[in-house]
Amino acid sequence: FADAKALAAPMIIDFGAEYCAPCKIYETQIFANEKVHAALGKRFVALRFDVTKNTDEDFAAQKRWQAQALPTVILLDSKGKAVRRFGEPIPTPDEFLRALGEVD
């Protein structure tokens, strides 16, 4: 969060778990997409919460970000405001890329 604030950059927060099959689709078909990966790397500070172990810290982060369902992907603008959320159904890479382009 400090990096995003210092850079005045948007953020992506990704909640996932090893046992979550749709989370794997985000990893292999959305985030690994060449255009999506380039757009994320160019502008966004990324934060991933792996909640596989279901620790108290995991639950607290999920509660704070209202991310009880997996997967949950949240786009924050450069001021730290959540402006878009994704889960299921999983968007296409092009749909996700358009959403990234709309974030300030």
Model pLDDT for residues 44-54, shown as the tens digit of each residue: 999 999 999 99
Going by pLDDT thresholds of 50, 70 and 90, the confidence category of residue 80 is: very high
- For residues 15 and 73, the answer to whether their CB atoms sit within 8 Å is yes
What CA–CA distance (Å, rounded) separates 103 from 101? 6
- For residues 99 and 77, the answer to whether their CB atoms sit within 8 Å is no
